[in-house]
Amino acid sequence: MRRGTIVIALFILIVAGVIGAVFFLRNQPPLEITLAVDPLAADWMEEAVQNFNASDITINNTQRIHLTYTVIPDFDVWQDTPWTAQNHPDGWLASSSTATTYANMPLQIIAPSTARTLLVWGAYTSRANVLTDDGTIPLDWAQVINAAETENWGLLGGEENWRFVKLAFSLPDSTTIGLAALFSGAAAVAENVNISGATRGADFEDQIGAVVNRVPNFNTIGADAAAFMARGISQAEIALAPESQWLNNLQGIVRNEPIIFSYPEYAFVFDFPLAAYEDTTDPQNADAIAAVQAFGAWLLRPEQQATLGNYGLRPVNNAPSEPNDLFAAGEQYGIQRNPIISAIIQPPNVNEARALIQWFGTVSR
């Protein structure tokens, strides 16, 4: 056999071997990765994880990935620390970087933000018109605090048969959403985005305490104040909730009465960071982190970011742009695709947050 023929044959054998090895490796069982997801992202993640698993993305050029996820409130993670070195998910999609900052565990932030949603006021139109002089001023904490302190709609200029003002927001001692509502109130009272030290003192305790006391029963609200508002005006008339929850409950809410949405001057942004758990005792941890990194990169692709509006969520770097997303339905009630967000709240440290939770426990009894 000629020398050139031998070289060609060897080359073909090598290529066939490489192809065979890659084929063999790609057909090995995928790397199983677990992801913890906050309920605020659960609907989005249900479809995202399914589509990611179908996309045949690999690490190390050969190792396929299969994601499974469980839903756990990020408040439970940072407050109760349920994970240990022996029992933890590989990745965590929290609702807020506040949660990952507060969590006392070895985390590597893979993506500081994968989506966004904002705390937004929602009020039934009849009530909002009383507090805002028929819409000539925006609805924000000053108007809500005044309503809470006055207590009675008749004294505020509304109808006597409306009786007492009924407010709603999620429980601050069991949800990050509820705690964010208290942060929002602290920023408004202090007129400052930096609320370190602003969650105590007579001004905060008197004004925000009045708001807390106008929530008839926190235990009936749960983690979704917008869904609670959809039960009817007799349950709650004004609430502070994430924009995504408002949009997902909008149809049920407006069956009762049209609603008006208003963005607080001091914004709390849920930014949905993606983190990987760093476990130096696990020899497969490097692959697990690489898999979470691959998922994070996939979530940030333009085509994936474009789907967020279908869940009432905002892309990381721009405004929702799809013409038929949930934002389209909310615009006539005051939802904005591109609101001015110039004053973003800076939460206090975890010790001050825990002190605030304790204060809430005493004032809400």
pLDDT given for residue 283 in this prediction: 76
Kindly report the number of other CB atoms within 10 A of residue 52's CB atom.
20
Residue 122 lies in a domain: yes
Residues 310-318, mean pLDDT to the nearest whole number = 95
Q: 190 and 299: one domain?
A: no
pLDDT given for residue 11 in this prediction: 53
Domain that holds residue 229: 117-268+325-364
Q: 69 and 110: one domain?
A: yes
Residues 278 and 290: their CA atoms lie apart, in Å, by: 11
How many residues are given for the chain?
365
Q: 250 and 337: one domain?
A: yes
245-282 pLDDT per residue, tens: 999 999 999 999 999 999 999 999 999 999 999 987 87
- Total domains in the chain come to 2
228-237 pLDDT per residue, tens: 999 999 999 9
173-188 pLDDT per residue, tens: 999 999 999 999 999 9
Q: 105 and 225: one domain?
A: no
Residues 63 and 84: their CA atoms lie apart, in Å, by: 26
Q: 155 and 183: one domain?
A: yes
126-162 pLDDT per residue, tens: 999 999 999 899 999 999 999 999 999 999 999 999 9
Q: Per-residue DSSP letters for 55-69?
A: TT-EETTTEEEEEEE
Q: 246 and 305: one domain?
A: no
CATH code of 131's domain: 3.40.190.10
Residues 22 and 30: their CA atoms lie apart, in Å, by: 14
42-63 pLDDT per residue, tens: 999 999 999 999 998 998 888 9
- pLDDT of 23 strictly over 70: no
Q: 161 and 107: one domain?
A: no
